[in-house]
Amino acid sequence: MQEVSLASDLETLELGSMRLTSIDTPEELLSMGEVRCASNFKKVMMHVGQLTRVNAARKVAVQVAVANDGSSGEFGYGDVIEVPPFNINQKDLIKHLSLVDIKIALPAIYVFGDSFVDNGNNKAILGNKDAIGGGYLPFGIDFDGKPTGRVTNGRIGVDFIATVAGLPYPPPILGMSKIDRKTIRTGVNYASGASGLLPQNGHFLHKNVINFSQQVDLFENSTMEDLKSTFDSPEGFTQYLSKSLFFIHHASNDLGLTFEVEMEKKYSIDKYAKLLIKEFSKQLKRLYTLGARKFFVSNVSPLGCSPFNINTKNHSGPCVEEINNRVSVYNGLLPGLLEKLQSILPGSKFVLGDIYKVFQDVFEMPRSYGFKDVNTSCCIDNNGTRIQVCAPNIAPCKDRKNRVFFDPFHPSETMHFLWARRFLKDSSICSPINLIQLMQA
Protein backbone atom coordinates (compact mmCIF):
# COMPACT_ATOMS: atom_id res chain seq x y z
CA MET A 1 0.00 0.00 0.00
CA GLN A 2 1.46 3.32 -1.06
CA GLU A 3 0.53 6.73 0.27
CA VAL A 4 0.53 9.35 -2.44
CA SER A 5 0.59 13.05 -1.71
CA LEU A 6 -0.64 15.48 -4.33
CA ALA A 7 0.75 18.96 -3.80
CA SER A 8 -1.28 21.98 -4.80
CA ASP A 9 1.03 22.73 -7.75
CA LEU A 10 1.32 19.13 -8.93
CA GLU A 11 -0.99 17.45 -11.43
CA THR A 12 0.74 14.11 -11.89
CA LEU A 13 0.87 11.11 -9.58
CA GLU A 14 3.23 8.19 -10.01
CA LEU A 15 2.31 4.80 -8.57
CA GLY A 16 4.92 2.25 -9.47
CA SER A 17 4.52 1.74 -13.18
CA MET A 18 1.39 3.89 -13.36
CA ARG A 19 1.50 7.54 -14.27
CA LEU A 20 -1.76 9.37 -13.52
CA THR A 21 -2.25 12.86 -14.89
CA SER A 22 -4.71 15.55 -13.76
CA ILE A 23 -6.57 13.25 -11.40
CA ASP A 24 -9.65 15.05 -10.15
CA THR A 25 -11.82 12.06 -9.29
CA PRO A 26 -11.20 8.39 -8.47
CA GLU A 27 -13.36 7.40 -11.43
CA GLU A 28 -10.53 8.31 -13.79
CA LEU A 29 -8.58 5.38 -12.39
CA LEU A 30 -11.09 2.96 -13.86
CA SER A 31 -9.31 2.81 -17.19
CA MET A 32 -6.07 1.78 -15.51
CA GLY A 33 -5.65 -1.96 -15.65
CA GLU A 34 -3.78 -2.12 -12.37
CA VAL A 35 -6.67 -0.75 -10.30
CA ARG A 36 -9.65 -3.04 -10.03
CA CYS A 37 -13.24 -1.99 -10.53
CA ALA A 38 -15.36 -3.06 -7.58
CA SER A 39 -18.57 -3.31 -9.60
CA ASN A 40 -20.17 -2.28 -12.83
CA PHE A 41 -21.34 0.89 -11.11
CA LYS A 42 -17.99 2.67 -11.29
CA LYS A 43 -16.64 2.05 -7.81
CA VAL A 44 -12.90 1.98 -7.61
CA MET A 45 -11.34 -0.40 -5.11
CA MET A 46 -9.21 1.99 -3.10
CA HIS A 47 -8.31 2.56 0.52
CA VAL A 48 -9.07 6.20 1.12
CA GLY A 49 -7.26 8.01 3.85
CA GLN A 50 -8.14 11.68 4.05
CA LEU A 51 -9.69 12.73 0.75
CA THR A 52 -10.76 16.27 -0.01
CA ARG A 53 -11.60 18.01 -3.21
CA VAL A 54 -8.60 18.69 -5.45
CA ASN A 55 -8.08 22.36 -6.10
CA ALA A 56 -5.34 24.92 -6.10
CA ALA A 57 -5.50 25.47 -2.37
CA ARG A 58 -5.58 21.92 -1.00
CA LYS A 59 -3.60 18.74 -0.74
CA VAL A 60 -4.99 15.29 -1.25
CA ALA A 61 -3.76 12.24 0.59
CA VAL A 62 -4.89 9.02 -1.03
CA GLN A 63 -3.92 5.47 -0.24
CA VAL A 64 -4.28 3.40 -3.39
CA ALA A 65 -4.32 -0.36 -3.42
CA VAL A 66 -2.41 -1.44 -6.50
CA ALA A 67 -3.50 -4.88 -7.58
CA ASN A 68 -0.21 -6.06 -9.08
CA ASP A 69 0.03 -8.76 -6.41
CA GLY A 70 -3.51 -9.99 -7.03
CA SER A 71 -4.91 -8.36 -3.90
CA SER A 72 -7.72 -5.87 -3.92
CA GLY A 73 -8.52 -2.86 -1.81
CA GLU A 74 -11.87 -1.45 -0.79
CA PHE A 75 -13.15 1.90 -1.91
CA GLY A 76 -15.47 3.77 0.39
CA TYR A 77 -15.62 7.24 -1.11
CA GLY A 78 -17.56 8.14 -4.20
CA ASP A 79 -20.61 6.54 -5.72
CA VAL A 80 -22.01 7.04 -9.21
CA ILE A 81 -25.17 5.09 -9.98
CA GLU A 82 -27.77 6.30 -12.45
CA VAL A 83 -31.20 7.07 -11.04
CA PRO A 84 -33.26 3.97 -11.89
CA PRO A 85 -36.19 4.13 -14.28
CA PHE A 86 -39.54 5.32 -13.01
CA ASN A 87 -41.70 2.44 -11.73
CA ILE A 88 -38.72 0.07 -11.38
CA ASN A 89 -39.68 -3.03 -9.41
CA GLN A 90 -38.06 -4.41 -6.27
CA LYS A 91 -36.04 -7.12 -8.01
CA ASP A 92 -34.56 -4.78 -10.59
CA LEU A 93 -33.81 -2.03 -8.05
CA ILE A 94 -32.01 -4.49 -5.79
CA LYS A 95 -29.96 -5.59 -8.79
CA HIS A 96 -29.37 -1.95 -9.76
CA LEU A 97 -27.95 -1.34 -6.28
CA SER A 98 -25.74 -4.45 -6.39
CA LEU A 99 -27.53 -5.87 -3.37
CA VAL A 100 -27.29 -9.64 -3.66
CA ASP A 101 -29.05 -12.39 -1.76
CA ILE A 102 -30.99 -10.08 0.53
CA LYS A 103 -34.33 -11.01 2.00
CA ILE A 104 -36.60 -8.40 3.55
CA ALA A 105 -39.89 -9.21 5.25
CA LEU A 106 -40.99 -5.72 6.22
CA PRO A 107 -44.76 -5.30 6.56
CA ALA A 108 -44.91 -1.50 6.46
CA ILE A 109 -43.05 1.83 6.46
CA TYR A 110 -44.40 4.74 8.47
CA VAL A 111 -42.83 8.10 7.56
CA PHE A 112 -42.69 11.21 9.76
CA GLY A 113 -40.95 14.46 8.93
CA ASP A 114 -40.76 17.59 6.83
CA SER A 115 -40.48 18.50 3.15
CA PHE A 116 -37.55 16.12 2.57
CA VAL A 117 -40.02 13.25 2.94
CA ASP A 118 -43.45 14.86 2.42
CA ASN A 119 -45.16 13.22 -0.57
CA GLY A 120 -48.47 15.03 -0.66
CA ASN A 121 -49.77 16.10 2.76
CA ASN A 122 -48.97 19.76 2.26
CA LYS A 123 -50.48 19.59 -1.21
CA ALA A 124 -53.70 18.42 0.44
CA ILE A 125 -53.46 21.21 3.02
CA LEU A 126 -52.33 24.11 0.84
CA GLY A 127 -53.65 23.23 -2.59
CA ASN A 128 -51.87 23.22 -5.93
CA LYS A 129 -50.56 26.79 -5.95
CA ASP A 130 -48.15 26.69 -3.02
CA ALA A 131 -44.49 25.81 -3.53
CA ILE A 132 -44.24 24.27 -0.05
CA GLY A 133 -46.93 21.87 -1.20
CA GLY A 134 -45.12 20.94 -4.40
CA GLY A 135 -48.46 21.01 -6.17
CA TYR A 136 -47.50 22.44 -9.56
CA LEU A 137 -44.98 21.83 -12.31
CA PRO A 138 -41.97 21.80 -12.51
CA PHE A 139 -42.30 19.76 -9.29
CA GLY A 140 -42.88 16.19 -10.39
CA ILE A 141 -41.60 16.73 -13.92
CA ASP A 142 -39.72 13.42 -13.62
CA PHE A 143 -42.46 11.74 -11.59
CA ASP A 144 -44.28 10.74 -14.74
CA GLY A 145 -44.82 14.47 -15.33
CA LYS A 146 -47.16 14.78 -12.36
CA PRO A 147 -46.82 17.17 -9.40
CA THR A 148 -47.72 14.94 -6.45
CA GLY A 149 -46.62 17.05 -3.50
CA ARG A 150 -43.01 15.92 -3.52
CA VAL A 151 -40.90 19.08 -3.47
CA THR A 152 -38.45 17.87 -6.10
CA ASN A 153 -38.37 16.84 -9.73
CA GLY A 154 -39.06 13.13 -9.18
CA ARG A 155 -39.02 10.54 -6.43
CA ILE A 156 -37.86 11.16 -2.88
CA GLY A 157 -35.59 8.97 -0.78
CA VAL A 158 -38.35 7.07 1.01
CA ASP A 159 -39.82 6.05 -2.35
CA PHE A 160 -36.62 4.16 -3.21
CA ILE A 161 -36.48 2.67 0.28
CA ALA A 162 -40.06 1.40 -0.04
CA THR A 163 -39.30 -0.19 -3.40
CA VAL A 164 -36.26 -2.00 -2.01
CA ALA A 165 -38.51 -3.33 0.77
CA GLY A 166 -41.01 -4.56 -1.81
CA LEU A 167 -43.67 -2.10 -0.66
CA PRO A 168 -45.69 0.58 -2.46
CA TYR A 169 -44.87 4.20 -1.74
CA PRO A 170 -46.47 5.04 1.63
CA PRO A 171 -49.45 7.26 0.71
CA PRO A 172 -49.88 10.68 2.35
CA ILE A 173 -52.34 10.38 5.22
CA LEU A 174 -54.32 13.44 4.12
CA GLY A 175 -54.73 12.06 0.60
CA MET A 176 -56.19 8.73 1.71
CA SER A 177 -59.87 7.88 1.49
CA LYS A 178 -61.72 6.44 4.48
CA ILE A 179 -61.60 3.03 2.82
CA ASP A 180 -57.85 3.30 2.20
CA ARG A 181 -57.22 4.21 5.82
CA LYS A 182 -59.00 1.05 6.95
CA THR A 183 -57.37 -1.31 4.46
CA ILE A 184 -53.80 -0.22 3.64
CA ARG A 185 -51.35 -2.12 5.82
CA THR A 186 -48.12 -1.29 3.97
CA GLY A 187 -47.49 2.06 5.64
CA VAL A 188 -48.48 5.71 5.63
CA ASN A 189 -46.65 9.03 5.21
CA TYR A 190 -47.44 11.76 7.79
CA ALA A 191 -44.66 14.19 6.79
CA SER A 192 -45.48 17.85 6.26
CA GLY A 193 -43.23 20.44 4.68
CA ALA A 194 -42.24 23.45 6.83
CA SER A 195 -43.15 21.53 9.99
CA GLY A 196 -40.91 21.04 12.99
CA LEU A 197 -40.37 19.24 16.25
CA LEU A 198 -41.78 22.06 18.36
CA PRO A 199 -45.53 22.66 18.06
CA GLN A 200 -45.15 26.36 17.28
CA ASN A 201 -42.53 25.89 14.58
CA GLY A 202 -43.52 26.39 10.97
CA HIS A 203 -46.59 28.46 11.80
CA PHE A 204 -45.06 31.72 10.66
CA LEU A 205 -44.94 30.18 7.18
CA HIS A 206 -48.16 28.16 7.15
CA LYS A 207 -50.46 27.72 10.14
CA ASN A 208 -51.84 24.42 8.94
CA VAL A 209 -48.65 22.39 8.56
CA ILE A 210 -48.54 19.23 10.66
CA ASN A 211 -45.85 19.30 13.35
CA PHE A 212 -44.28 16.11 14.69
CA SER A 213 -46.63 15.83 17.66
CA GLN A 214 -49.63 16.15 15.35
CA GLN A 215 -48.13 13.55 13.00
CA VAL A 216 -47.92 11.11 15.91
CA ASP A 217 -51.50 12.05 16.80
CA LEU A 218 -52.60 11.06 13.29
CA PHE A 219 -50.80 7.74 13.61
CA GLU A 220 -52.43 7.06 16.97
CA ASN A 221 -55.96 8.34 16.38
CA SER A 222 -56.38 7.50 12.73
CA THR A 223 -54.10 4.74 11.49
CA MET A 224 -54.02 2.63 14.64
CA GLU A 225 -57.73 2.91 15.22
CA ASP A 226 -58.50 2.10 11.58
CA LEU A 227 -56.18 -0.90 11.33
CA LYS A 228 -56.71 -2.61 14.67
CA SER A 229 -59.95 -4.21 13.59
CA THR A 230 -58.37 -5.68 10.45
CA PHE A 231 -56.15 -8.00 12.49
CA ASP A 232 -57.36 -11.30 13.93
CA SER A 233 -55.97 -10.53 17.36
CA PRO A 234 -54.35 -7.73 19.38
CA GLU A 235 -51.18 -9.84 19.44
CA GLY A 236 -51.09 -9.94 15.66
CA PHE A 237 -51.41 -6.17 15.46
CA THR A 238 -48.68 -5.73 18.07
CA GLN A 239 -46.32 -7.98 16.12
CA TYR A 240 -47.11 -6.13 12.89
CA LEU A 241 -46.17 -2.78 14.44
CA SER A 242 -43.01 -4.21 16.00
CA LYS A 243 -41.83 -5.43 12.58
CA SER A 244 -42.70 -2.20 10.73
CA LEU A 245 -40.15 0.54 10.01
CA PHE A 246 -40.63 4.03 11.45
CA PHE A 247 -38.61 6.48 9.34
CA ILE A 248 -38.15 9.99 10.74
CA HIS A 249 -36.53 13.08 9.22
CA HIS A 250 -37.17 16.18 11.31
CA ALA A 251 -35.65 19.40 12.75
CA SER A 252 -34.52 21.08 9.50
CA ASN A 253 -37.13 23.80 9.85
CA ASP A 254 -36.57 24.13 13.60
CA LEU A 255 -32.90 24.91 12.91
CA GLY A 256 -33.43 27.02 9.79
CA LEU A 257 -35.81 29.89 9.25
CA THR A 258 -37.83 29.21 12.40
CA PHE A 259 -34.79 29.69 14.60
CA GLU A 260 -33.75 32.86 12.76
CA VAL A 261 -37.22 34.43 12.74
CA GLU A 262 -38.70 33.33 16.05
CA MET A 263 -36.31 31.52 18.37
CA GLU A 264 -32.91 33.19 18.17
CA LYS A 265 -34.06 36.08 20.35
CA LYS A 266 -35.27 33.64 23.02
CA TYR A 267 -32.60 30.93 23.16
CA SER A 268 -28.91 30.32 22.70
CA ILE A 269 -28.34 27.54 20.19
CA ASP A 270 -27.14 25.20 22.95
CA LYS A 271 -30.34 25.63 24.97
CA TYR A 272 -32.48 25.50 21.85
CA ALA A 273 -30.88 22.26 20.62
CA LYS A 274 -31.53 20.67 24.04
CA LEU A 275 -35.14 21.83 23.85
CA LEU A 276 -35.50 20.16 20.45
CA ILE A 277 -33.94 16.94 21.73
CA LYS A 278 -36.31 16.92 24.71
CA GLU A 279 -39.36 17.22 22.46
CA PHE A 280 -37.98 14.65 20.01
CA SER A 281 -37.43 12.21 22.86
CA LYS A 282 -40.99 12.73 24.07
CA GLN A 283 -42.50 11.90 20.67
CA LEU A 284 -40.22 8.92 20.05
CA LYS A 285 -41.29 7.49 23.42
CA ARG A 286 -44.91 8.01 22.40
CA LEU A 287 -44.36 6.00 19.22
CA TYR A 288 -42.70 3.27 21.25
CA THR A 289 -45.63 3.15 23.65
CA LEU A 290 -47.97 2.84 20.67
CA GLY A 291 -46.04 -0.19 19.41
CA ALA A 292 -43.15 1.04 17.26
CA ARG A 293 -39.86 -0.80 17.71
CA LYS A 294 -37.74 -0.19 14.59
CA PHE A 295 -36.71 3.46 14.32
CA PHE A 296 -34.55 4.99 11.62
CA VAL A 297 -33.75 8.62 12.45
CA SER A 298 -31.98 10.97 10.05
CA ASN A 299 -30.06 13.94 11.35
CA VAL A 300 -30.18 17.35 9.63
CA SER A 301 -28.31 18.18 6.41
CA PRO A 302 -25.91 21.16 6.12
CA LEU A 303 -28.57 23.83 5.65
CA GLY A 304 -25.94 26.51 5.23
CA CYS A 305 -25.04 25.07 1.84
CA SER A 306 -28.49 25.42 0.29
CA PRO A 307 -28.74 27.76 -2.72
CA PHE A 308 -31.16 29.99 -0.79
CA ASN A 309 -28.82 30.50 2.13
CA ILE A 310 -25.62 30.98 0.14
CA ASN A 311 -27.39 33.59 -2.02
CA THR A 312 -29.14 35.51 0.76
CA LYS A 313 -26.78 35.33 3.76
CA ASN A 314 -23.35 36.81 4.35
CA HIS A 315 -20.58 34.22 4.35
CA SER A 316 -16.87 33.99 3.64
CA GLY A 317 -16.61 30.37 2.52
CA PRO A 318 -18.59 28.21 0.10
CA CYS A 319 -21.37 27.77 2.69
CA VAL A 320 -22.89 29.76 5.56
CA GLU A 321 -20.95 28.20 8.40
CA GLU A 322 -22.99 29.96 11.09
CA ILE A 323 -25.99 27.89 10.01
CA ASN A 324 -24.02 24.67 9.62
CA ASN A 325 -22.53 25.14 13.08
CA ARG A 326 -26.05 25.52 14.46
CA VAL A 327 -27.08 22.27 12.77
CA SER A 328 -23.99 20.53 14.11
CA VAL A 329 -24.89 21.40 17.70
CA TYR A 330 -28.22 19.61 17.32
CA ASN A 331 -26.75 16.72 15.31
CA GLY A 332 -24.14 16.23 18.01
CA LEU A 333 -26.85 15.51 20.59
CA LEU A 334 -28.74 12.94 18.52
CA PRO A 335 -26.45 9.89 18.96
CA GLY A 336 -26.64 10.13 22.75
CA LEU A 337 -30.41 10.46 22.65
CA LEU A 338 -30.91 7.39 20.48
CA GLU A 339 -28.44 5.30 22.47
CA LYS A 340 -30.20 6.25 25.70
CA LEU A 341 -33.65 5.44 24.30
CA GLN A 342 -32.54 2.03 23.07
CA SER A 343 -31.06 1.27 26.48
CA ILE A 344 -34.26 2.10 28.37
CA LEU A 345 -36.93 0.91 25.90
CA PRO A 346 -36.90 -2.92 25.81
CA GLY A 347 -36.93 -4.46 22.34
CA SER A 348 -36.34 -1.15 20.56
CA LYS A 349 -33.81 -0.59 17.80
CA PHE A 350 -32.72 2.96 16.97
CA VAL A 351 -30.51 3.62 13.95
CA LEU A 352 -29.07 7.03 13.11
CA GLY A 353 -28.53 8.08 9.49
CA ASP A 354 -25.95 10.81 8.95
CA ILE A 355 -27.45 12.75 6.06
CA TYR A 356 -25.18 15.66 6.98
CA LYS A 357 -22.16 13.57 5.98
CA VAL A 358 -23.84 12.38 2.79
CA PHE A 359 -24.17 16.00 1.65
CA GLN A 360 -20.74 16.92 3.00
CA ASP A 361 -19.09 14.13 1.00
CA VAL A 362 -20.81 15.33 -2.17
CA PHE A 363 -19.78 18.95 -1.58
CA GLU A 364 -16.15 17.89 -1.10
CA MET A 365 -15.93 15.74 -4.24
CA PRO A 366 -19.04 16.23 -6.38
CA ARG A 367 -17.71 14.57 -9.52
CA SER A 368 -17.02 11.33 -7.69
CA TYR A 369 -20.77 11.16 -7.04
CA GLY A 370 -21.78 12.24 -10.53
CA PHE A 371 -22.64 15.88 -9.75
CA LYS A 372 -21.54 18.94 -11.73
CA ASP A 373 -23.46 21.59 -9.77
CA VAL A 374 -23.74 21.61 -5.97
CA ASN A 375 -25.02 25.10 -5.19
CA THR A 376 -27.53 26.24 -7.80
CA SER A 377 -31.27 25.71 -7.98
CA CYS A 378 -32.48 23.90 -11.07
CA CYS A 379 -35.78 25.77 -11.22
CA ILE A 380 -36.35 29.46 -11.86
CA ASP A 381 -38.29 31.78 -9.55
CA ASN A 382 -40.71 34.58 -10.43
CA ASN A 383 -37.83 37.06 -10.56
CA GLY A 384 -36.04 35.05 -13.22
CA THR A 385 -33.34 33.99 -10.73
CA ARG A 386 -32.70 30.73 -8.92
CA ILE A 387 -32.90 32.03 -5.35
CA GLN A 388 -36.56 31.87 -4.34
CA VAL A 389 -39.21 29.14 -4.70
CA CYS A 390 -39.91 27.70 -8.14
CA ALA A 391 -42.23 29.69 -10.37
CA PRO A 392 -45.20 27.71 -11.70
CA ASN A 393 -45.01 26.04 -15.08
CA ILE A 394 -41.58 27.31 -16.08
CA ALA A 395 -39.27 24.63 -17.46
CA PRO A 396 -36.40 23.74 -15.10
CA CYS A 397 -32.81 23.08 -16.09
CA LYS A 398 -32.16 20.17 -18.43
CA ASP A 399 -29.13 18.90 -16.50
CA ARG A 400 -31.05 18.20 -13.29
CA LYS A 401 -29.61 14.68 -13.08
CA ASN A 402 -26.25 16.30 -12.37
CA ARG A 403 -27.43 18.79 -9.75
CA VAL A 404 -27.64 18.39 -5.99
CA PHE A 405 -30.56 20.82 -5.62
CA PHE A 406 -33.79 21.06 -7.57
CA ASP A 407 -35.07 24.19 -5.86
CA PRO A 408 -33.19 26.55 -3.52
CA PHE A 409 -34.04 24.42 -0.49
CA HIS A 410 -34.56 20.81 -1.56
CA PRO A 411 -32.50 18.08 -3.19
CA SER A 412 -32.98 16.74 -6.67
CA GLU A 413 -34.19 13.21 -7.34
CA THR A 414 -30.57 12.23 -7.96
CA MET A 415 -29.55 13.46 -4.51
CA HIS A 416 -32.56 11.75 -2.95
CA PHE A 417 -31.47 8.50 -4.58
CA LEU A 418 -27.95 8.98 -3.25
CA TRP A 419 -28.93 9.49 0.39
CA ALA A 420 -31.42 6.64 0.21
CA ARG A 421 -28.93 4.13 -1.14
CA ARG A 422 -26.23 5.21 1.29
CA PHE A 423 -28.66 4.77 4.18
CA LEU A 424 -29.56 1.36 2.81
CA LYS A 425 -26.04 0.06 2.21
CA ASP A 426 -23.41 2.19 3.89
CA SER A 427 -22.58 1.45 7.52
CA SER A 428 -20.11 4.33 7.57
CA ILE A 429 -22.97 6.83 7.69
CA CYS A 430 -25.39 4.74 9.73
CA SER A 431 -25.01 3.71 13.35
CA PRO A 432 -24.97 1.08 14.74
CA ILE A 433 -26.20 -0.74 11.61
CA ASN A 434 -27.39 0.30 8.15
CA LEU A 435 -31.00 0.55 7.01
CA ILE A 436 -31.07 -2.80 5.21
CA GLN A 437 -29.89 -4.51 8.40
CA LEU A 438 -32.53 -2.69 10.43
CA MET A 439 -35.27 -3.74 8.01
CA GLN A 440 -34.07 -7.33 8.24
CA ALA A 441 -33.86 -7.30 12.07
* Residue 249 annotated to the active site: no
* Residue 115 annotated to the active site: yes
Catalytic residue among 159, 354, 407, 426: 407
Q: Under a CB-based contact definition with an 8 Å cutoff, are residues 210 and 222 in contact?
A: no
Catalytic residue among 115, 298, 306, 328: 115
> Rounded to an integer, what is the distance from CA 77 to the centroid of its chain?
17
* Residue 410 annotated to the active site: yes
Catalytic residue among 410, 412, 416, 426: 410
List residues with catalytic annotation.
Answer: 115, 407, 410
